[in-house]
Amino acid sequence: GNSVTQMEGPVTLSEEAFLTINCTYTATGYPSLFWYVQYPGEGLQLLLKATKADDKGSNKGFEATYRKETTSFHLEKGSVQVSDSAVYFCALSFSGYSTLTFGKGTMLLVSP
Amino acid sequence: EAQVTQNPRYLITVTGKKLTVTCSQNMNHEYMSWYRQDPGLGLRQIYYSMNVEVTDKGDVPEGYKVSRKEKRNFPLILESPSPNQTSLYFCASSFEGRGTDTQYFGPGTRLTVL
């Protein structure tokens, strides 16, 4: 079946540090890939997405590139802020229906 | 404001006492679904609905029921809750239910079954 694997957290960084959260997937075919973010006490919200190979999704300084050859969708940000502290979920879905398969989530903690 | 609302936000109940968690969206979305979030397991889908009167099981449907009588509402029903259903529940919706669609999540309902 389909699955998503993310690096375990928490990831702890100082403000302005570089962030990478690794995400790899196993799927039959070519899914759409997503990063969702969950701030404390809130629901999930879309951070960025890519719907085909080599697409780059970007938003709020975060980026991720859909790499078919390595089945990866790593999340990066050049300079994190305290306000980026949250749980980040990598997910995939297939055309035809919206069911998301999520990774287990990675908590990011950014200190001043 | 476009949003998905859930009620209640917090609920403590006892084993066997039927409960309903409501979900409503004001974006005219066709697709709605329920997920549960558990530590170390991420989010898993319970049920989904592609449109009114069309529902189907997700990955973990046992012990849950849903209905979709109106486009905007998608309640989650626990007929006889058990402690293993203690979890954080999220309702989500998307425009047409395509795999490329963005899903919009509600704020969550934290359920404790004693």
**Residues B45 and B60: beta-carbon distance below 8 Å:** yes
Residue A26 tokens, joined:
């196993």
Could you tell me if B98 lies within 8 Å of chain A, comparing CB atoms? Answer: yes
CA distance B34 to B18: 18
Cβ–Cβ of A98/B98 closer than 8 Å? yes
Closest CA to A62 of A46, A40, A51, A39: A46
Q: What is the pLDDT of residues B86-112, one digit of tens each?
A: 999 999 999 887 778 889 999 999 999
pLDDT tens-digit readout, A30-74: 899 999 999 988 889 999 999 999 999 999 999 999 999 999 999
Mean pLDDT of A92-109: 87
Task: Enter the DSSP assignment of B83.
Answer: G
Give residue for tokens 């990598």: A90
Asked if B13 contacts B114 with a C-beta cutoff of 8 angstroms, the reply is: yes
Residue pair A61/A77 in contact by the 8 Å Cβ criterion: yes
User: Which of B4, B100, B101 is the best residue to mutate to test the A interface, defined by the most A CB atoms within 10 Å of its own CB?
Assistant: B100
Cα separation, B55 vs B34, in Å, equals 11
Tokens of A98: 């919206």
Nearest CA to A102 out of B8, B114, B56, B60 is that of B60
**β A11-14/A32-38 pair status:** unpaired
